[in-house]
């Protein structure tokens, strides 16, 4: 539609000005003049431009009664769907870790050396939710982000076992297989192509989210950013790792290589920091409380508090029911997530949302994780979480969107200085997606502040035979017996 009834002609201000002058003249003469209406023209209501003096000049825009130029009031065109992102621009490799008696866990890895930052996603998400954060950390740290049981590309013997104990044990077993225990076997797949160049500029925030190229849909090979590679069958036994790292040391065909600590391996594994969001935040606390992760030097929990979580559980079924059950394509799901407010960062949504979907036989895409089936375990994830978090002896940080989410135990603990509280009120629930740059900055500051992976501070000692220098007392010295 090119014009709307009752619209004022663009740029045609002369008619209104003349009307005001006419009204002032009538008021001065003390007379009343009945308004004169011109005939309606093409859906445009004109206002008394019957007088010759009221005709606008050529430089004042279209004349009164003339049709509005096409396109001036044209309805905005529908926005196109957002393109699906590629995980290779953010991660160095994708590994498939087989844990005996548990299943095969998909793990994204970035960085080659330094302390390990093990990032655990929330319910319904996948390891790709940490993509933007990993891109910032991988220059100095080794970032690992697994797909939990029943999520992403991970397949287990029981994908519906979302109990706190089982999933916390999964994390410990993953840590042991990837960095904790040397001596496993690893077979290398065909190396994947080099990662695509990362987009220029910092990770997006609500105020500066880069617009992704428009796309109506994507083929299945491109829509799923993490299509599993072909892996040779693995015999039962010790945990095995099948990886596709570009540029990593190659293993001869049929040979084996030591799996485990990797960078920093030796008598003890590298330092480790656990970072968890929502459900994953609870799981990292329970895993840390088991004291089975050696050299654990920090725990960071993102936007989960026991009191608030338990209070929100009765409404979660309505939240899940309000989501669309399926989408025509992953690109359509990304579009829905950004426009519905589920994700406030286009770049993060283009990576995270497709990994949460699974293609159905009819060609539609539905949610990979049936969160409704996890309902019996919701209370177990969070009951006692605040006290357990405060009991941890390693450095701790809690990142929240607001102080109103603190419960009584955490409020007291924060006042006593038992953990570092970081507030990011401009982000939604997925803080690490909505504010990826700021989240990465806070994590880097936490790692530097507590010297994660660094040795203890050493102070120079005086050479042997040096007499100690006693401090000089400032101010008057009182001598006994003096007045």
Whether the CB-CB separation of 176 and 97 falls below 8 Å is answered with no
Angle at 325 between CA 319 and CA 327, to 5 degrees: 125
CA-nearest of 370, 335, 373 to 354 is: 335
Instruction: Spell out the domains of the chain, with CATH numbers in brackets.
Output: 1-76 (no CATH), 87-248+257-449 (3.40.50.1820)
Which of 121, 303, 343, 432 is flagged as catalytic?
Answer: 303
- What separation in angstroms does the CA of 13 have from each of 7, 39, 57, 365, 395? 13, 19, 10, 53, 66
Active-site residue flag, 18: no
Active-site residue flag, 364: no
- Non-local CB neighbours of 292 within 8 Å, separated by 6+ positions: 172
Which of 66, 192, 429, 437 is flagged as catalytic?
Answer: 429
Q: Can you give the pLDDT at residue 207?
A: 38
- Cβ neighbours of 148 (radius 10 Å): 26
pTM for this prediction: 0.67
DSSP string, 272-338: EEEEEETHHHHHHHHHHHTT-STTEEEEEEES--HHHHHHHHHHHHHHHHHS-SEESSHHHHHHHHH
Q: Dihedral, CA atoms, 285, 287, 293, 299, nearest 10 degrees?
A: -20
Whether the CB-CB separation of 91 and 126 falls below 8 Å is answered with no
Active-site residue flag, 278: yes
Burial 230-261 (b: 16+ CB within 10 A, else e): eeeebeeeebbbbbbbeebeeeeeeeeeebbb
- Non-local CB neighbours of 20 within 8 Å, separated by 6+ positions: none
Place of tokens 């399926």: 326
Which of 278, 329, 352, 374 is flagged as catalytic?
Answer: 278
pLDDT tens track of the chain, all 483 residues?
444 333 334 444 444 445 455 555 544 455 444 444 444 444 443 333 344 444 444 444 444 444 544 444 444 444 555 678 889 999 999 999 999 999 999 999 999 999 999 999 999 999 999 999 999 999 999 999 999 999 999 999 999 999 999 999 999 999 999 987 543 333 333 334 444 444 433 344 433 433 333 333 333 333 344 433 333 333 333 455 554 444 333 333 333 333 344 444 446 889 999 999 999 999 999 999 999 999 999 999 999 999 989 999 999 999 899 999 999 999 999 999 999 988 999 999 999 999 999 999 999 999 999 999 999 999 999 999 999 999 999 999 999 988 777 888 999 999 999 999 999 999 999 999 999 999 999 999 999 999 998 888 888 888 888 888 887 777 776 777 766
Whether the CB-CB separation of 438 and 424 falls below 8 Å is answered with yes
Q: Can you give the pLDDT at residue 14?
A: 45
CA-to-CA distance for 38 and 35, rounded, in angstroms? 10
CA-to-CA distance for 138 and 144, rounded, in angstroms? 10
Q: Can you give the pLDDT at residue 482?
A: 65
């Amino acid at each position: 539609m090119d014009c709307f009834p009752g619209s004022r002609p663009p740029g045609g201000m002369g008619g209104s000005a003349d009307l005001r002058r006419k009204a002032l003249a009538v008021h001065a003469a003390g007379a009343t003049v009945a308004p004169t209406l011109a005939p309606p023209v093409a859906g445009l209501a004109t206002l008394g431009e019957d007088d010759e003096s009221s005709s606008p000049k050529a430089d004042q825009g279209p004349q009164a009664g003339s049709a509005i130029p096409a396109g001036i009031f044209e309805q905005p065109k529908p926005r196109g769907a957002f393109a699906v992102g590629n995980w290779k621009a953010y991660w160095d490799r994708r590994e498939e870790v087989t844990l005996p008696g548990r299943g095969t866990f998909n793990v994204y890895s970035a960085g080659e050396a330094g302390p390990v930052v093990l990032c655990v996603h929330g319910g319904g998400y996948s390891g790709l939710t940490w993509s933007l954060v990993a891109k910032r950390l991988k220059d100095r740290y080794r970032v690992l982000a697994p797909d939990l049981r029943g999520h992403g590309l991970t397949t287990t013997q029981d994908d519906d076992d979302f109990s706190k104990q089982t999933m916390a044990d999964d994390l410990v077993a993953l840590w042991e297989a990837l960095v904790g225990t040397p001596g496993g076997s690893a077979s290398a797949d065909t190396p994947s192509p080099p990662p695509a160049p990362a987009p220029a500029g910092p990770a997006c925030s609500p105020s500066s989210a880069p617009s992704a190229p428009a796309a109506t849909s994507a083929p299945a090979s491109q829509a799923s950013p993490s299509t599993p590679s072909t892996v040779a069958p693995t015999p039962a036994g010790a945990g095995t790792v099948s990886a596709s790292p570009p540029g990593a040391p190659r293993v001869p065909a049929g040979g084996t290589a030591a799996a485990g600590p990797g960078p920093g391996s030796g008598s003890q594994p590298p330092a480790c920091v656990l970072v968890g969001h929502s459900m994953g935040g609870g799981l990292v606390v329970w895993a840390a409380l088991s004291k089975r992760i050696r050299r654990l030097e920090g725990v960071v929990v993102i936007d989960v508090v026991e009191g608030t979580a338990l209070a929100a559980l009765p409404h979660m079924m309505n939240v899940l029911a309000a989501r669309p059950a399926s989408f025509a394509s992953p690109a359509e799901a990304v579009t829905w997530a950004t426009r519905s407010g589920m994700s406030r960062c286009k770049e993060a949504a283009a990576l995270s949302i497709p990994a949460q979907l699974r293609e159905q036989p009819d060609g539609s895409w539905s949610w990979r994780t049936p969160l409704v089936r996890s309902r019996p375990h919701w209370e177990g994830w969070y009951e006692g979480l605040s006290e357990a978090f405060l009991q941890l002896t390693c450095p701790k940080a809690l990142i929240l969107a607001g102080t109103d989410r603190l419960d009584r135990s955490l409020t007291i603990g924060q006042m006593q200085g038992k953990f570092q509280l970081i507030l990011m009120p401009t982000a939604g629930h997925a803080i690490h997606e909505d504010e990826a740059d700021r989240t990465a900055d806070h994590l880097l500051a936490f790692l530097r502040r507590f010297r994660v992976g660094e040795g203890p501070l050493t102070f120079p000692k005086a050479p042997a035979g040096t007499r100690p220098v006693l401090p000089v007392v400032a101010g008057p010295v009182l001598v006994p017996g003096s007045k």
